[in-house]
Every structure is written in structure tokens, then in C-alpha cells.
Amino acid sequence: MKKIFTAEQKTSVAVAALKERQTVNQISAAYEVHPTQVGLWKKQAIQGLKDIFSEIDFCLENLERALKERAPLIHNSDQGSHFTSPRYTDLLTAKDIQISMDGRGRCMDNIFTERLWRSVKYENIYLKSYCDIDEAQRGLTDYFRFYNHVRPHQSLNNMTPSRIFQKISKIINHYQLNFHLKNLF
């Protein structure tokens, strides 16, 4: 007989998987589900996050939380509809925060940075739900160590950024050494 799971049960399993504090097999045993279900529900949760996080209420809630901690002099964002909304900009201007927005189509100017922050948001921040600045700092430090030294990048031929840096450094050092040797004689 096929077991039927409620949305709440699926959500609990997906959240446990997203937190990455247990292996898939541990989650599978704890919730009495097949390991493939854990992966499937986690994937479905991640796919559904985009819709949730693009909502203006989410952006407003997090802006309000951030402004309770500290108010910057300048707030920079792109021109997404949630950032240009009067509800969003009014929160900033009420605190005398200057608003700086990237020009339309300017994402190509900093595509590597944009790609990095997309990865940071979707692979870490949205999944971890940090409770405070200290926890976020520790978690992001761990994530950047993982991102730079462990996680293979398809755009880097499945190497890590640190490995690419090592290879480039060797090449540069080789050419610098040869240049200096030629100038000695």
C-alpha cells in the first residue's frame, strides 16, 4: 500500500534536507520516507523558493529587519520592481538613506559578482535563515570557504576558484622569473 504524505510532512522533510544537518539516509529514517523522496521534495522546495522570495513582502520584511539593526548612508540595488516600489523606497527615505540603483541592463558590467551573489543567496542565505549577524557571519565564512576551495564550478571546467588561482599564479610566476633571468644577462 502506497503511503500518502501531507504537505506538512513533505515540508518538514524538505526543510530538514535544506538545513543539511543530517544525511539523506538519516532524514529518510527519521521521517520514514524513501531517500529519493527526500531529494525530490528538497528539489521541489528549492524550485518553489524563487516565487516566494521574489515577493515584495519578503523584501520589505527583510529590509525592515535589517534597518532595525543598522541604517546605512546609501542603499544600492538593481531596478527590480520590488526595489523601485514606493513601499520599499519610502522605508529608505524615511530613514534619510540615499538610494542608488544600477542602470537598466548594467548587470553585464558585473556579471561575475551578480553570479556569485545569486549562488550565495540560493545556496546559503535562503536555506539557512540566519537568526543574527554573528550566525550569518560564521555561516557565510564557511560558505565562501566551500565556494572557493571545494565546490567545482562548471564555468571553470569543474575546478574551484582557488585551483584556477593557483594555476594562474604558477604561470605568472614562471613568466616573471623568465623575464628577470633574461634581464640579468
Write out the three cell numbers for 31: 521521517
Share above pLDDT 70 across residues of the chain, in percent, rounded to a whole number: 85
Q: Dump pLDDT digits (tens) for 85-108.
A: 888 899 999 999 998 877 665 556
What is the structure's pLDDT at 137? 94
Q: Dump pLDDT digits (tens) for 8-49.
A: 888 888 888 888 888 989 999 999 999 899 888 888 888 777
Q: Dump pLDDT digits (tens) for 49-93.
A: 766 555 678 888 889 999 998 899 998 887 777 778 888 899 999
Local structure of 156: helix, strand or coil:
helix
Q: How far apart are CA 123 and CA 101, in angstroms?
A: 25
> Quick one: which H or E segment has residue 97?
none
What is the structure's pLDDT at 64? 92
Q: How far apart are CA 86 and CA 58, in angstroms?
A: 15
Local structure of 99: helix, strand or coil:
strand
What is the structure's pLDDT at 157? 92
Contact indicator for 64, 91 with CB cutoff of 8 Å: yes
